[in-house]
A = this chain, B = another copy of it.
Amino acid sequence: MIVVKVGGSAGIDYDAVCADLAARVQAGERFVLVHGGSGETNRIAEALGHPPRFVTSPSGYTSRFTDRQTLEIFEMVYCGKMNKGIVERLQRHGVNAVGLSGLDGRIFEGRHKDSVRAVENGKVKVLRGDHTGTVERVNTHLIELLLDSGYLPVLTPPAASYEGVAINVDGDRAAAALATALHADALLLLSNVPGLLRAYPDERSLIPRIPAHDVEAYLEFAQDRMKKKVLGAAEAVAGGVRRVIFGDARAGQPISAALAGQGTVVE
């Protein structure tokens, strides 16, 4: 069982990811796919006159401030356009995919954080009305039901709060929690870079291997969105996942290449 997370930034080749995934599923391997949709969400939010707002926490992590209107735009893009676009691609390849959010069957659950601490102009402010949280519980029943019946689950944020409210959660860390809960053999975190770079954006500075016991020491090399991937990798290996691979989803056979050891391998 392998969990693949494919990001939502510009440059990702979803056709390539889906073709590669379909070939491996048809060869008998078991997968769960998790995806993002950040880039397209920004574009649609701008077009709808409700531009995205990003906030930086005091510890340096960047996240989307998700008011109710942003949450609905987020759902339109992640659960509508992106999720059904990926399911359609897989169906065209003959894979019986089933697209679900973390709300469906309460697959991803966590605590609703209504307020967020953000650094603005050097000062720490508290912003309220946020619909975010972190996945604390993965309800694997529905996923296992689907896998055992020959369906391929295609999952995406948002998650459900314990009260049933939709909350925006980080997709990489959700995938890490999922890989842990499913006792996955590997977690692939695919994005629009070749892996973790020692000197971003210089692709020749790729870090090929990271020892599993030392992942957090590599946080210093991670920029922006890569930080949550490194954090997710640390959480997955701590949860018992033996291999986490940061791979490139821009072309070729992204899943096969990562499983063959290209990118940054944490093990």
Contacts and interface: CB of A to CB of B under 8 A. Distances in A.
A84 B71 CA distance: 11
Interface residues of A, number: 42
A-B complex: 6 closest residue pairs judged by Cβ atoms? A80-B80, A91-B164, A76-B80, A92-B164, A76-B76, A79-B80
Contacts of A81: 72, 75-76, 80
Nearest to A100: B98
Nearest to A74: B80
Q: How many copies does the complex hold?
A: 2
A167 B47 CA distance: 25
B97 A85 contact: no
Contact of A87 (B49, B72, B84, B104): B104
Nearest to A154: B104
A246 B103 CA distance: 30
A84 B103 contact: yes
A98 B98 CA distance: 11
A92 to B, nearest CB: 4
A141 interface: yes
A41 to B, nearest CB: 11
A139 B164 CA distance: 29
A83 interface: yes
Contacts of A142: 98, 149, 151
A51 to B, nearest CB: 14
A103 B80 contact: no
A166 interface: yes
A94 B160 CA distance: 12
Interface in A177-227: none
